[in-house]
Structure 1
Amino acid sequence: MIKKRVMCFTAILSIMVLSKLHSEPQGISVENPYKKMMLEHAARLKEESRSSKNNIKTYYSSLTFANESVPTEDVNVKSKLGKYLARFSFKKTRSHKMHAKADKYLPKIEKILKSYGIPEDFKYIPIVESGLDPSVHSHKGAGGYWQFMPATARLYGLRVNGKVDERKDFVKSTHAAAKYIKSLYNEFGDWTLVAAAYNVGGGSLRGSIRRQKKDDYYQLRLNNETGSYVYKIISVKEVIENPSMYGYSI
Structure 2
Amino acid sequence: MGKPMPLILFCLFCGFAASAGASSDIPSLFHAARIDGGLTFCGEKAELDRNDTRQRMEKQMLLTLWNRPQVVLWIKRANRYFPVIEQKLKENEMPGDLKYMALVESALRPHAGSARGAVGFWQFTRSTGRKYGLQINSEKDERRNIVQSTDAAISYLKALYEIFGSWTLAAAAYNMGEHGLQAEIMVQENSDFYDLYLPLETQQYVFRILAAKRIMTRPEHYGFDFLPEDLYPPLAYEEISVRCSGLTPIVIVAEAADTRFKLIKDLNPQLRGHYLAAGQHLIHVPEGSAKGFDKRFQSLMETWDKDQEDRVYVVQQGDNLFAIAERFNVPLPALIIWNNLDYRGSIHPGDRLVIRSRQGDF
Pairing partner for 1:213 from 185, 189, 201: 189
1:98 aligns with 2:74: yes
Which residue of structure 2 lines up, in the alignment, with residue 181 of structure 1?
157
Which residue of structure 1 lines up, in the alignment, with residue 178 of structure 2?
202
Q: Which amino acid aligns with 1:194?
A: A
Pairing partner for 1:124 from 100, 115, 123: 100
Q: Which amino acid aligns with 1:114?
A: K
Question: Equivalents in 2 of 1:173, 1:218: separation in Å?
Answer: 29
Which residue of structure 2 lines up, in the alignment, with residue 68 of structure 1?
44
Which residue of structure 1 lines up, in the alignment, with residue 7 of structure 2?
none
Contact residue 87 and residue 93 of structure 1 kept, 8 A: no
Which residue of structure 1 lines up, in the alignment, with residue 278 of structure 2?
none
Farther-moved stretch of structure 1 (94-103 vs 179-188)? 94-103
Contact residue 66 and residue 191 of structure 1 kept, 8 A: yes
Question: Equivalents in 1 of 2:57, 2:223: separation in Å?
Answer: 17
Paired residues in the alignment total 193
Q: CA deviation at 1:195?
A: 0.4
Question: Equivalents in 2 of 1:246, 1:134: separation in Å?
Answer: 27
Which residue of structure 2 lines up, in the alignment, with residue 13 of structure 1?
none
Alignment identity in percent? Answer: 38
Question: Equivalents in 1 of 2:186, 2:93: separation in Å?
Answer: 28
Q: CA deviation at 1:93?
A: 2.5
Question: Equivalents in 2 of 1:224, 1:246: separation in Å?
Answer: 27
Describe the SS at the equivalent of 1:218.
helix
Q: CA deviation at 1:247?
A: 2.5
Higher helix share: 1
Contact residue 116 and residue 182 of structure 1 kept, 8 A: no
Question: Equivalents in 1 of 2:59, 2:223: separation in Å?
Answer: 16
Higher strand share: 2
Q: Which amino acid aligns with 1:119?
A: P
Q: State the Cα RMSD in Å.
A: 1.5
Contact residue 62 and residue 69 of structure 1 kept, 8 A: yes
Contact residue 128 and residue 232 of structure 1 kept, 8 A: yes
- Which of structures 1 and 2 has the larger relative contact order (alpha carbons within 8 angstroms, sep 6+)? 1
Query: Structure 1: which 4+ aligned runs deviate by more than 4 Å?
Result: none
Normalization by structure 2: what TM-score? 0.51
1:249 aligns with 2:230: no
Q: Which amino acid aligns with 1:75?
A: N
**Structure 1 gap segments, 5+ residues each:** 1-52
Q: Summarize the alignment of residues 25-36 of structure 1 with structure 2, pairs less than 5 Å apart.
A: none
Contact residue 134 and residue 149 of structure 2 kept, 8 A: yes
Contact residue 84 and residue 146 of structure 2 kept, 8 A: no
CA displacement, residues 83-141 of structure 1 (integer Å, 9 cap, x when unaligned) = 1112212x533222111011211122111012222211110111111111111111111
Q: CA deviation at 1:249?
A: 3.4
CA displacement, residues 222-250 of structure 1 (integer Å, 9 cap, x when unaligned) = 11111100000010011111112223234
Q: CA deviation at 1:199?
A: 0.5
